[in-house]
């Protein structure tokens, strides 16, 4: 049975009237230097977790900070409502602020500034992910303030290590699977399609990270005395890298495309209606020509096709001036973005076999793994997806879009693999938010509209 519009309107009015107080709470959280990757800030990560626990308990949640091998995971429950149960995920940790000299203001002293699109909140973590995280909590606060209860059962799981690998979250989820399992998972760590168009990301690529090091001679050699006769590991590495792609942009690994499904015509038609400008997309990066599979659109290439990218190469002398040396070692960091159906371990094994087959007999190779996560795809006919699309469309100026993402959010795959749950990725950030960079910001319209959107989504789920 639909929740009366007057019920929802009263909560939305509370959101509007309380926006200043919501900002004050966000600023409190943003002042905490919860940099997860630097041990010097471990106490600050604990402080951020404690702040969230206190805030949630004050709202009537049963919240605690759970210990892990790293930073705490905050878990909070309010299961008093009847009907569906949602699990909301966010992360309270942030990236380091270096280089500090490029910030216009103190990264941990948030500022409300005028920007090209209205007011913006400038601070580390304002967009990624404290501002996004609090949009959901503030929506819950407004529901409770007006009606004394939430319209659905809610569990929150707020991580403290997303920016430093998140290795302790999957075992935590496995150990607490019964407590955390719900009907649908919600993640607020993505972008809107544009400033007027909200979006739900239903496709995320998976990731395999691999580092290789090739060793030839036992020490660096003089290129005049040993040139030609001595194997050069940089040349071996260059040959391997060159062998990974064909001239048409496709990846050469045997079996690489075996489990890749084609995107339906209906989905492609929906993408065409988004008005995506390929030339502008590439132009912003100073490019003109798409370099992936020649017969695929740019959106297909970055959302729905797997890829192989070289992320870094080292070897020999790279300092100022010139040194005529044949190095003993050369290394590269290589990543694969995967689409739904692909097995990360299968791709890792295929890559390693390909490399080993190209190593000369008197040389050796070693591998260092850097994580592996599967891609996810949310069913297009899911009831929660449909309800969320309606709720977002009611709030913003344009109908909500269904989009993909070339990036990877491993927790979404973990929700499916460990808890058996689909995930809706609903975020209100923008591509110009400068996340991970100096002067990170979050538009005030994103914060305000995000809170209002979650109010409507929770109401929609309750129907």
pLDDT digits (tens, 9 = 90+) for 283-328: 988 999 999 999 899 999 999 999 999 999 999 999 999 999 999 9
Cβ neighbours, 10 Å, residue 235 = 14
Q: How many whole angstroms from its chain centre is CA 438?
A: 18
Alpha helix segments (H runs only) across 85-190: 130-147, 169-175, 177-180
Gap between the Cα atoms of 160 and 42, Å rounded: 10
- Is 296 contained in some domain? no
- Is 369 contained in some domain? yes
The arithmetic mean of pLDDT across residues 417-426, rounded, is 94
pLDDT at residue 64 tops 90: yes
Listed residue (169, 165, 160) closest to 45, CA to CA: 160
- 245 and 194 within one domain: no
- 423 and 325 within one domain: no
Binning pLDDT at 50, 70 and 90, where does residue 184 land? very high
Q: How many CA atoms lie within 13 A of 279 on its CB side?
A: 0
| pLDDT number for residue 285 | 87
Are 138 and 11 in contact, with CB atoms under 8 Å apart? Answer: no
Gap between the Cα atoms of 67 and 193, Å rounded: 37
| pLDDT number for residue 58 | 98
Produce one character per residue of 323-336: b if its CB has 16 or more CB atoms within 10 Å, e if not: eeebbbbbbbbbbb
Q: What is the pLDDT of residues 382-395, one digit of tens each?
A: 999 999 999 999 99
Give the CATH number for residue 123. 3.40.630.10
Residue with more model confidence, 251 or 203: 251
pLDDT at residue 1 tops 80: no
Boundary of a domain, candidates 327, 358, 373: 373
Gap between the Cα atoms of 386 and 140, Å rounded: 21
Asked which of 33-42, 213-222, 410-419 is least confident by mean pLDDT, the reply is 410-419
Copy the structure tokens of residue 410. 């491993």
Boundary of a domain, candidates 335, 351, 373: 373
Give the CATH number for residue 212. 3.30.70.360
| pLDDT number for residue 17 | 98
How many independent structural domains does the chain possess? 2
Copy the structure tokens of residue 112. 């409300």
Copy the structure tokens of residue 68. 């892990």
DSSP 262: P
Are 200 and 400 in contact, with CB atoms under 8 Å apart? Answer: yes
- 95 and 141 within one domain: yes
The structure's pTM equals: 0.85
pLDDT at residue 458 tops 80: yes
Binning pLDDT at 50, 70 and 90, where does residue 377 land? confident
Gap between the Cα atoms of 49 and 237, Å rounded: 45
The arithmetic mean of pLDDT across residues 239-257, rounded, is 97
- 143 — alpha (psi -120 to 50), left (phi > 0) or beta? alpha
Binning pLDDT at 50, 70 and 90, where does residue 266 land? confident
| pLDDT number for residue 103 | 98
Gap between the Cα atoms of 100 and 323, Å rounded: 34
Cβ neighbours, 10 Å, residue 366 = 11
Binning pLDDT at 50, 70 and 90, where does residue 409 land? confident
Copy the structure tokens of residue 207. 């990731």
pLDDT at residue 74 tops 90: yes
Listed residue (309, 377, 374) closest to 343, CA to CA: 374
Residues in the chain, total: 463
Copy the structure tokens of residue 428. 């209100």
- Is 428 contained in some domain? yes
Q: What angle do CA 175, 177, 183 make, to 5 degrees?
A: 165
Q: What angle do CA 47, 33, 159 make, to 5 degrees?
A: 60
DSSP result, 35-98 = BTT-GGGHHHHHHHHHHHHHHHHHTT-EEEEE--SSS-EEEEEE--SSS-EEEEEEE--B----
- 220 and 193 within one domain: no
- Is 297 contained in some domain? no
Q: Mean pLDDT across the chain, nearest whole number?
A: 95
| CA dihedral of 168, 170, 176, 182, whole degrees rounded to 10 | 130
Binning pLDDT at 50, 70 and 90, where does residue 178 land? very high
| CA dihedral of 356, 360, 363, 364, whole degrees rounded to 10 | 0
- 235 and 352 within one domain: yes
| pLDDT number for residue 406 | 84
H/E stretch holding 384 reads helix 383-395
**Domain with 129 in it:** 5-204+375-462
Asked which of 15-29, 30-44, 131-145, 274-288 is least confident by mean pLDDT, the reply is 274-288
- 156 and 11 within one domain: yes
| pLDDT number for residue 376 | 85
Listed residue (394, 404, 420, 267) closest to 8, CA to CA: 394
């Amino acid at each position: 049975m639909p929740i009366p519009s007057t019920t929802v309107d009263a909560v939305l009015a509370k959101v509007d009237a309380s926006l200043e107080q919501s900002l004050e709470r966000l600023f409190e959280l943003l002042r905490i230097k919860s940099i997860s990757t630097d041990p010097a800030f471990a106490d600050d990560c604990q402080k951020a977790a404690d702040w969230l626990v206190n805030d949630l308990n004050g709202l009537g949640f049963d919240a605690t900070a759970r210990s892990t091998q790293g930073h705490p995971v905050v878990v909070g429950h309010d299961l008093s409502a009847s009907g569906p149960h949602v699990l909301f995920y966010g992360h309270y940790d942030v990236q380091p602020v270096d280089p500090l000299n490029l910030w216009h203001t103190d990264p941990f002293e948030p500022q409300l500034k005028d920007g090209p699109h209205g007011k913006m909140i400038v601070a580390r973590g304002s967009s990624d992910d404290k501002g996004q995280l609090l949009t959901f909590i503030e929506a819950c606060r407004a529901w409770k303030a007006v009606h004394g209860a939430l319209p659905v059962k809610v569990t929150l799981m707020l991580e403290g290590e997303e920016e430093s690998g998140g290795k302790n979250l999957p075992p935590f989820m496995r150990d607490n699977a019964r407590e955390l399992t719900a009907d649908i998972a919600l993640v607020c760590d993505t972008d809107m399609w544009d400033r007027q168009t909200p979006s739900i990301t239903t496709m995320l690529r998976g990731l395999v990270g691999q580092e290789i090091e090739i060793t030839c001679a036992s020490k660096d050699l003089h290129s005049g005395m040993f040139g030609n006769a001595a194997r050069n590991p940089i040349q071996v590495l260059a040959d391997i890298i060159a062998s990974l792609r064909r001239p048409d942009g496709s990846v050469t690994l045997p079996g690489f495309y075996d489990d890749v499904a084609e995107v339906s015509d209906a989905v492609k038609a929906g993408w065409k209606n988004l008005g995506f400008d390929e030339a502008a997309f590439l132009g912003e990066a100073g490019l003109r020509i798409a370099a992936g599979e020649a017969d695929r659109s740019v959106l297909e290439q970055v959302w729905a096709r797997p890829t192989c990218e070289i992320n870094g190469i080292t070897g020999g002398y790279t300092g100022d001036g010139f040194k005529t040396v044949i190095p003993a070692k050369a290394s590269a960091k290589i990543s694969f973005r995967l689409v739904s159906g692909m097995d990360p371990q299968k791709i890792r094994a295929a890559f390693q076999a390909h490399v080993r087959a190209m190593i000369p007999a008197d040389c050796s190779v070693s591998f260092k793994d850097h994580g592996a996560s599967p891609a996810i795809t949310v069913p297009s006919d899911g009831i929660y997806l449909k309800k969320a699309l309606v709720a977002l469309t009611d709030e913003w100026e344009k109908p909500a879009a269904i989009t993909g993402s070339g990036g990877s959010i491993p927790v979404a795959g973990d929700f499916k693999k460990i808890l058996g749950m689909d995930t809706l990725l609903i975020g209100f950030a923008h591509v110009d938010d400068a996340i991970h960079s100096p002067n990170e910001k979050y538009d005030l319209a994103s914060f305000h509209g995000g809170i209002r959107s979650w109010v409507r989504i929770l109401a929609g789920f309750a129907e």
